[in-house]
């Protein structure tokens, strides 16, 4: 008779890490399809570059550590990191952007800390923040939704633009961002922030073509598609409800209260829920089991903290969206959250002083 020894906590799930990560990728498919419909097929080229880079970086790191590279790739954690980063950047970002970001996520954020299960920060979001801070122009060059676009690119034109930063006809990404009415398109979050900084009200900002009566054109459907994927993860018990519910509550409740008291300068909760990376962050990014809190109560607090930080940074910060920054800041808080929310051992009282309380 053989006994299998595993680290606590002991769960009864029959799914291994590879299966769970594979289901995360499956659940991302609706959001990726909708994103490609509104913002072009460049997301597929970004996915290809990210996956190749992640597998190469993971393999080289494992070989350098005299570990089995094949077994490391089979757990699909590098695949999920690559996919999350690829769908978080503009679809026509230059090829070297995704290569640098993915390599940093795998080598520095994951492998230097010890590999799978040892990273302190969410690898995809750490790579995203590195790119956003280092290359802000390339990382904010989002195309207008297809319904507002002045140019429609073929697959070859899309690939050419990613590789050389110009279409075969010589159009730059900045020129491609110009809509049919000659306005250079910004994301809904950036449009609202810019309008408010210029003294306009939220109602006046909603007159911009990129905003619909609900939220951003295209972006609202992308968020709803990622919400659908999130429900798939919940149904499959890949994730629990604590972090997504906490994040959405931490974001939408302050947004609702602020909108009630200052509707002219504070967008409502529906806008926040369906703009930027809200649903992607709530169900796919913040729920990273390694860098998140561990206990159910701790995960709820962790999600609330992320949501509140997203609202604060969106409202007063220098960047339009804030999911990546909020997740990394919350990752720093995980040891403290776990310290005060870990369940006490049966028969023992919880001690916060470092020893075991009797």
- Tens-of-pLDDT digits for all 358 residues of the chain? 555 544 454 544 567 888 999 999 999 999 999 999 999 999 999 999 999 999 999 999 999 888 887 877 888 999 999 999 999 999 999 999 999 999 999 999 999 988 888 889 999 999 999 999 999 989 988 888 888 877 788 999 999 999 999 989 888 888 888 765 555 667 889 889 888 889 999 999 888 888 887 888 889 999 999 999 999 999 999 999 999 999 999 999 999 999 999 999 999 999 999 999 999 999 999 999 999 999 999 999 999 999 999 999 999 988 878 899 999 999 999 999 999 998 766 655 555 544 444 3
Domain-by-domain residue ranges, the chain? 16-184, 193-340
Short-list 201, 205, 208, 244, CA closest to 223: 244
Backbone phi, then psi, for 178, in 5-degree steps? -75, 130
CA 243 to chain CA centroid, nearest Å: 14
- Would you say the C-alpha torsion 140, 102, 333, 13 has a positive or negative sign? positive
Count the Cβ atoms, other than its own, within 10 Å of residue 178. Answer: 16
Short-list 324, 218, 226, CA closest to 283: 226
E strand or H helix at 43: helix 42-64
């Amino acid at each position: 008779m053989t006994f299998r020894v595993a680290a606590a906590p002991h769960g009864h799930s029959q799914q291994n890490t590879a299966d769970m990560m594979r289901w995360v990728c499956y659940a991302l498919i609706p959001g990726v399809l909708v994103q490609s419909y509104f913002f072009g097929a460049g997301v597929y080229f970004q996915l290809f570059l990210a996956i190749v880079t992640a597998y190469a970086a993971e393999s080289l790191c494992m070989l350098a550590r005299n570990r089995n590279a094949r077994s490391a790739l089979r757990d699909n954690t590098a695949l999920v990191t690559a996919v999350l980063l690829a769908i978080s950047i503009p679809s026509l970002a230059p090829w070297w952007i995704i290569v640098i970001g993915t390599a940093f996520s795998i080598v520095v954020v994951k492998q230097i800390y010890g590999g799978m299960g040892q990273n302190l920060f969410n690898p995809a979001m750490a790579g995203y923040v590195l790119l956003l801070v280092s290359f802000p122009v390339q990382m904010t060059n989002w195309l207008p939704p297809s319904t507002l676009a002045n140019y429609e690119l073929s697959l070859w034109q899309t690939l050419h633009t990613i590789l050389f930063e110009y279409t075969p006809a010589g159009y730059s990404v900045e020129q491609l961002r110009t809509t049919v009415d000659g306005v250079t398109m910004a994301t809904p979050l950036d449009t609202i922030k810019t309008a408010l900084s210029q003294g306009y009200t939220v109602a006046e900002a909603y007159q911009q073509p990129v905003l619909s009566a609900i939220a951003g054109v295209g972006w609202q459907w992308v968020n709803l598609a990622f919400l659908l994927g999130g429900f798939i993860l919940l149904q499959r018990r890949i994730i629990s409800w604590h972090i997504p519910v906490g994040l959405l509550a931490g974001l939408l409740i302050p947004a609702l209260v602020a909108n009630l008291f200052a509707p002219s300068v504070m967008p409502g909760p529906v806008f926040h829920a369906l703009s930027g990376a809200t649903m992607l962050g709530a169900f796919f990014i913040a729920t990273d089991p390694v860098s998140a809190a561990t206990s159910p109560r701790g995960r709820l607090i962790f999600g609330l903290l992320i949501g509140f930080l997203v609202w604060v940074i969106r409202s007063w910060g220098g960047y339009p969206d804030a999911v990546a920054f909020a997740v990394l800041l919350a990752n720093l808080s995980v040891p403290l959250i776990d310290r005060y929310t870990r369940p006490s051992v049966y028969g023992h009282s919880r001690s916060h002083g470092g020893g075991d309380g009797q």
